[in-house]
Amino acid sequence: MKEFRLGIAGLGTVAQGVLRVIAHNRKIIAARTGVDLSVVRVASRNLKSSVDLGGAQFSTELADLYSDPAVDVVVELIGGDTTARQFIEASLAAAKPVVTANKAVIAVCGNELLSEYSSVPLRFEAAVAGAIPIIGAIRHGLVANSFEHVVGIINGTSNYILTAMQQSGVAFADALKTAQELGYAEADPTFDVEGIDAAHKLAILLGLAFDRPFNFDDIYIEGISAITGEDIRYADELGYRIKHLGIARQTGAGLEARVHLTLVPKAQLLASVDGVQNAVLVKSDAAGNTMYSGPGAGGDATASAVLADVLAIAQQGSAESTPRNFDPQQQTPILPIEQVRSAHYVRIPTRDEPGVFAQVANALSRYEISIEAAIQKQPRTSKDLVAIVMLTQVTTEKDIVAALAQVSELPQVTGNIARIRVETLE
């Protein structure tokens, strides 16, 4: 039996999950792997008296973790992208293997860390999609494949809000408030609802699946704060659910890397992934379509991924610690969002006057944009406004933006035009 001793940085939800899972499953882990795990040190700003450290020493100094010869692996669970990066770098420099759940550090600094400290293991399964072993699937299970796309619901907070709006008919602000009360959203929810968290995760998936450096700046980002119940209801009537997706796709023109609201057909599995659940759909040449779904956050769920990495290091040592070196000449370029092709959902608020629909259709036709389906409700009174709702066929982002700019200038258009991209994921 091999003894393997952890030093944990942080004492939040995930750190407590790691302590709890080891306490509950230590014998099972040992029987399956031949590794006896224990936590010998914990470092955090404050000691929480309600948390059982299982005999581990407590410190307020992060340096105590990587300077202690009794610690075999350091687990970084403090979050953020400044102190955490400095701590990870110092640990690697001290030749301590590191397991992290920090998607921001990997998305922004992962290339340098993996390259400069290539002889020391740095693993980050828990950085993307919580308990779902999607990084392991791409790096190992599907390693013989060429990837066409990796598309996922990779932020549980946004998915919870959209699900609440869909199922209960509540407004965005009310759904967000409930998410905060339940602990699914932070007091400042910006990273989640504006798509930054999902973009960090997509940058990692993009780099792994398409053999390129991690680069957060490659990702086009839109959040969910502009979503309305009206659009959710119209999407439902047209046979779709609205999801916040991260999309990495190989096309003949280049790589798409984008995070935004998306209409997904109800028949697609992703459309039925609700609440705080995450799901990632991968299409590759040999394996075809594979889908991975499960809890995207939570103490025990994320701890599961953390401990999978810890055990891999315990069993394999530095065998998987290789620098990520790439030839820029061999890399497919990232497509600017203006060149991305997709279908679109459009909602245009107008006055109920004869010929409005024809004028809208004419403006779209100037850019060779065809209408796939349309809804136009009858006004209840002569003073009511109406919404022209339509699905377009596939077109470029540049053309739909230009066409809708012309539509917005029509005198009958009374407000902002809503537009959401549509993905059939075929």
Structural domains in the chain, CATH included, are 2-130+300-316 (3.40.50.720), 134-295 (3.30.360.10), 340-422 (3.30.70.260)
Higher pLDDT, 403 or 321: 403
295 near 130, Cβ under 8 Å? yes
| pLDDT of res. 329 | 64
pLDDT digits (tens, 9 = 90+) for 273-299: 999 999 999 999 999 999 999 998 888
| pLDDT of res. 381 | 58
- What type of residue is 295? P
> CA-to-CA distance for 126 and 389, rounded, in angstroms?
40
Burial class (CB in 10 A: 0-12, 13-18, 19+), 259: buried
Question: Among this protein's residues, is 201 annotated catalytic?
Answer: yes
pTM recorded for the entire structure? 0.94
Whether the per-residue pLDDT at 323 is higher than 60: the answer is: no
Give buried/exposed letters for 399-413 (b at 16+ CB in 10 A, else e).
Answer: bbeebbeebeebebb
Our CA dihedral for 403, 405, 410, 411, rounded to 10 degrees, sits at 170
- What type of residue is 260? H
pLDDT digits (tens, 9 = 90+) for 333-366: 999 999 999 999 999 999 988 899 999 999 999 9
Neighbours of 352 (CB within 10 A): 16
Average pLDDT in the chain: 93
- In this prediction, residues 95-109 reach a mean pLDDT of 96
Catalytic residue among 96, 103, 201, 243: 201
| pLDDT of res. 328 | 66
Q: What percent of the chain has pLDDT over 90?
A: 86
| pLDDT of res. 325 | 66
* Structure-block tokens of residue 175: 């759904």
Whether the per-residue pLDDT at 73 is higher than 70: the answer is: yes
| pLDDT of res. 59 | 95
| pLDDT of res. 316 | 84
Burial class (CB in 10 A: 0-12, 13-18, 19+), 61: exposed
